[in-house]
Structure 1
């Protein structure tokens, strides 16, 4: 079963008996990918899936843990969510066969006490033609994440603005799209900020957008990620604190920081495999003028440290939604500070 990203909300509303037991969220737009997983998780929570197991895997695994978590009963027989994130889209020798076994287990047992949510980038044609992938998509409900092109952004932005109970003038929308230059994470951040600045006003005007852009000129989330990649801890924290003081949304900051870590992860993987790192960066939409910051950052880390950063970001997302994480602080802002220090440093705190 295949569902478009736009049809996900309809699927959730119409599934009165609860979520399916197996979802595959696939696509390269990180924000939409994260949003789809978030919505599926909340769907599960509403149907009393109280336990959550989160795994971030790559070609090195640990893939053996997947089937262990799948088949292990919880202490109080609670319904559980098993989230498997594969940000690199690389499954290695064990990944494919493991997911094929997972699909076979779901097919044969049809468990009612678990929901498996796998998320990954869009896989290449060769991978999608493999036997294991065919086994997975034949069983899973596939959520297809689209690639948003610049021409798609106005309609997408209007939809988000409408969800905030607002409308926007055409000239204001044009300026907004130009401001974020096709970056949907930045677009959502600006739209949420506009909703706060507008107050009781229901229509966003050109002057409002201009004011929002001017107000954000001092502290910009892109300046934050640049400082982090360049290894400047004091400047990174200064910008982060400035963003918080200006009322920036912690989730939007987290989304941008997570994107940078995912890019760093892919570059690190390329370094290990002796790939051409500039080519990797270009394929991920990073302008050549920004390459050096990532090439510099990669020398501060190893693969386990970068995977630790990804897990830390996932934990902050849960903390911000009120779910406590063992070993983490209760404040998402405090944990965000720790993640920034680790990312701008060498992965340790």
Structure 2
């Protein structure tokens, strides 16, 4: 049976199934499901756990032998199978199907994998898993879902799920779930009672970002060309990979392009900023950029970033760092040929 990740807690509370399969591209989300399952399993007497990392050449005889041999230390055991590629081969498919058909009551089988192709989800072993156990598929968290994901995880750790803080975390971690979770866990350590000092935390974020890629972009949006050059040179001196600069600038300018389109449809700036969940402190910066740059200018910057990216891959011949500096200076509003 296939259930949504948010249904797992309730499903576990009602009844522990014999088999669980959690998979998806976001490994952190898969791990959260696995931790939840194993936690409930321990409460139900499954004290002993065996883990196997499985690929297409794995010998399933070791698992079959383990299942058929009684435990000397615990009545109930967990067998955890991590599919390293999602491809288990013909022999593996046959072995797993047989295991699922004959799994004894004192064994809890937990299987996990990264993202699976549709062909793998139509395989016999997958269909048998669907029939005999619980399948939890995790989808990637999209940018418009990230703030909600952060607030939910803050609440689960007993933190006040402040939307401003969630927006700040989302902005600074660029959608990286692991980095976002690490920030949430740091908050829990800093504020064990769950009451976060909003001003203190936002000031801390601001100080940390002064000489980061984020600080450089914010200085550009503010129109502070001198600060932009200072931060950019600092990032180059620190050997910041150009791919990070490209991806961060592309994300920011692409968002501005989308907002510019909405602005042309006579939507108010305030409603656009709210729809895009712009962090309160950044609203003046984004508003300033939307007033300063036309849709055409922003598109021109995106095209230039595309050429820079191709140069990184050896498909074009631009001087990457020089061109990146030109883009970010153009974003600050200084006329250097790219924003004319």
When normalised by structure 2's length, the TM-score is 0.58
CA contact (8 A) 1:176 1:209 kept: no
2:97 to 75, 96, 100: 100
From 115, 122, 125, give the equivalent of 1:129.
Answer: 122
Q: In the alignment, does 2:38 pair up with 1:41?
A: yes
Equivalent runs, 1:223-302 vs 2, <5 Å: none
Contact 1:88 / 1:120 at 8 angstroms: preserved in 2?
Answer: yes
CA contact (8 A) 2:48 2:74 kept: no
Among 119, 131, 152, the alignment partner of 1:159 is: 152
Indicate yes or no: 2:14 matched with 1:10: no
Q: Does 1:143 align with 2:136?
A: yes
For the structure 1 residues 59 and 162, does the alpha-carbon distance in structure 2 shift closer, same or farther, using more than 3 Å as the test?
A: same
Q: How many residues align?
A: 219
Per the TM alignment, residue 74 of structure 1 is displaced from its structure 2 partner at its CA by 0.9
Counterparts in 2 of 1:14 and 1:289: CA distance versus 1, 3 Å? farther
Residue 265 (structure 1) aligns with: none
Query: What is the Cα-based RMSD across aligned positions, in Å?
Result: 3.0
Change (3 A) 1:288 1:153: farther
- Provide the secondary structure at the position in 1 that maps to 2:136: strand
Task: Tell me if the contact between 2:19 and 2:129 (Cα under 8 Å) persists in the aligned partners.
Answer: no
Question: Corresponding residue for 1:29?
Answer: 26
Deviation at 1:149, TM superposition (A): 1.0
Deviation at 1:24, TM superposition (A): 1.1
Partner residue, 1:119: 112
| Preserved CA contact (<8 Å) 2:22 2:137 | yes
Do 1:172 and 1:206's aligned partners in 2 also have CA atoms closer than 8 Å? no
Q: How far does the alpha carbon of each residue in 1:184-215 deviate from its partner, in whole angstroms, 9 at most, with x for none? A: 11000001102222354614525404415756
Aligned CA distance change for structure 1 residues 209 and 75 (closer, same or farther; 3 Å) = same
Matched-pair contact (CA < 8 Å) for 1:59–1:90 = yes
Tell me the CA shift for residue 134 of structure 1.
1.5
Gaps of 5+ in 1: 219-286, 292-349
1:9 and 1:180, CA in 2 relative to 1: closer, same or farther beyond 3 A?
Answer: same
Pairs within 5 Å for 1:294-313: none
The aligned counterpart of 1:179 is: 172
In 2, the alpha carbon distance for the partners of 1:7 and 1:288 equals: 43
- 1:318-333 to structure 2, matched below 5 A, reads none
- Output the CA distance in 2 between the equivalents of 1:64 and 1:289: 50
Residues 194, 209 of structure 1: 8 Å contact kept: no
Alpha carbons of structure 1 residues 194 and 52: separation in structure 2 relative to 1, 3 Å? same
Distance in 1 between residues matched to 2:154 and 2:203, nearest whole Å:
16
Q: Which residue of 2 aligns with 1:87?
A: 84
Aligned to 1:232: none
Q: Does structure 2 retain, via aligned residues, the 8 Å contact 1:154–1:173?
A: yes
Residue 165 of structure 1 aligns to a residue whose secondary structure is coil
- Report the Cα distance in structure 1 between the residues aligned to 2:59 and 2:208, rounded to whole angstroms: 45
Could you say what secondary structure the match of 1:20 adopts? coil
Distance 1:78 1:194, change over 3 A: same
Shift, 1:169, TM fit: 3.8
- Specify the SS of the correspondent of 1:137: helix
How far 1:170 sits from its partner (Å)? 3.3
Does structure 1 residue 70 correspond to structure 2 residue 63?
no
Q: Quote how far apart the aligned CAs of 1:132 are.
A: 2.8
Question: Which consecutive residues of structure 2, in runs of 5 or more, have no partner in the other structure?
Answer: 212-308, 314-340
What is the TM-score when the length of structure 1 is the normalising length?
0.56
Change over 3 Å in CA distance of 1:73–1:188 after alignment to 2: same
Contact 1:180–1:186 (8 Å) recurs in 2: yes
Higher Cα radius of gyration: 2
d(CA) in 2 for partners of 1:206, 1:13: 39
Sort the Cα spacing of 1:105 and 1:41 in 2 relative to 1 into closer, same or farther, 3 A.
same
Query: CA separation of 1:139/1:102 partners in 2, compared to 1, >3 Å: closer, same or farther?
Result: same
Q: Which shows bigger deviation, 203-212 or 79-88? A: 203-212
Contact in 2 for aligned 1:99/1:136 (Cα 8 Å): no
